[in-house]
Amino acid sequence: MSIAENVKQVKENMAAAARRCGREPDSILLCAATKMNDAEKVREAIAAGVDICGENRVQELTEKLEQGAYSGCPLHFIGHLQKNKVKYIVGRVSLIHSADSLELIEVIDKRAAALGLMQDILLEVNIGGEAAKSGFAPGELWEVVPRMSDFPAVRVRGLMAIPPICENMEENRPYFRAMKQLFIDIGAKKYDNIFMDFLSMGMSSDYEAAIEEGANIVRVGTGIFGERRYAPK
C-alpha cells in the first residue's frame, strides 16, 4: 500500500476507535513518526493528511528542515532529547514530547528565554517503570508539576508515555488508563504553567486502544511508512 493509502487506513481506524468510546474523531491528532524516512516520503504523508510530523533524531530533523520537508505541517520532537542538543530544537518545533527530567526542562527554559520565546513541552512519564526508558515516575510528577512555575519560558501542555512493548495492544490498556487518570488529576489541580491539553500515547501497534483510553495524539510510523530498514551492524 502507498503512504497515502496507509494514512487513509490509519485515519479510518482512529475514527472508528473514537466513535467506539463516544469521542469526536476530529479531536484526535495523527502524528507521523518520520524517523528514517526521507523528505519525499514526509511530503507524501503531509499531502495525505497527517496532522503533525514527529521527528526522533535531531540530525534528521535539521537535515529535513533544510530540505523543506515539513512545509505546511506542525513539527514536533518526539524522541529522547539530550541536553547538549536542546539548542537545535527549541524554537524550531512547536512541541517537545520528551521532557523527561527537571535538568532538561531547565536547559530548554534557558534556551527559550535567550531566544525570547515560549517553548511548549509535554512531560514524559515512564508509566511502565522500565529501567531502560527515560521519563518521570508517575509518583514523581506530584513533586515536578508545582515547580513548572520556575520555568517561565516553558509551558507544559500535557503528558506523553511509551508503555512497554507488547504483542497484543490489549496488554497496554492498564498503562493507558493510568496515564489518563494522571492527566485528569493533574489538570484538576490548576497548577501555574500547567495546561493539560495533550495526552500523547499510542503507536502503530496500539494506537486504537490508546484512543479508546483517552489519547488525543497518537504517534504512528510503521503504520504509515512501513517497516523501518535499519543498516546492518
pLDDT tens column, 16-59: 999 999 999 999 999 999 999 999 999 999 999 999 999 999 99
Q: What SS3 state is found at 95?
A: strand
Q: Is the model's pLDDT at 229 over the cut of 70?
A: no
Q: What is the pLDDT of residue 15?
A: 98
Q: Which residues contact 5 (CB under 8 A, 6 or more apart)?
A: none
User: CA–CA distance from 26 to each of 23, 171, 215 (Å)?
Assistant: 9, 26, 12
More confident residue, 103 or 233: 103
Q: pLDDT value at position 230? A: 55
Question: Mind listing the pLDDT tens digit for each residue in 75-119?
Answer: 999 999 999 999 999 999 999 999 999 999 999 999 999 999 999
Return the pLDDT at 116: 98
Mean pLDDT across the chain, nearest whole number? Answer: 95
CA neighbor of 121 nearest in space, from 133, 108, 111:
108
Q: Which residues lie closer than 8 Å to 184 by C-beta, 6 or more apart?
A: 196
Per-residue pLDDT at 160: 98
**pLDDT number for residue 170:** 86
> Exposed, middle or buried, 33 (CB in 10 Å: 0-12/13-18/19+)?
buried
Q: pLDDT (tens digit, 9 = 90+) per residue, 121-167?
A: 999 999 999 999 999 999 999 999 999 999 999 999 999 999 998 77
The widest CA-to-CA distance across the chain, in whole angstroms, is 49
In whole angstroms, give the CA distance from residue 214 to residue 18: 9
pLDDT at 184: 97
**Model's pTM, two decimal places?**
0.95
Q: Which helix (H) or strand (E) holds 220?
A: strand 217-220
pLDDT reported for residue 169 = 73
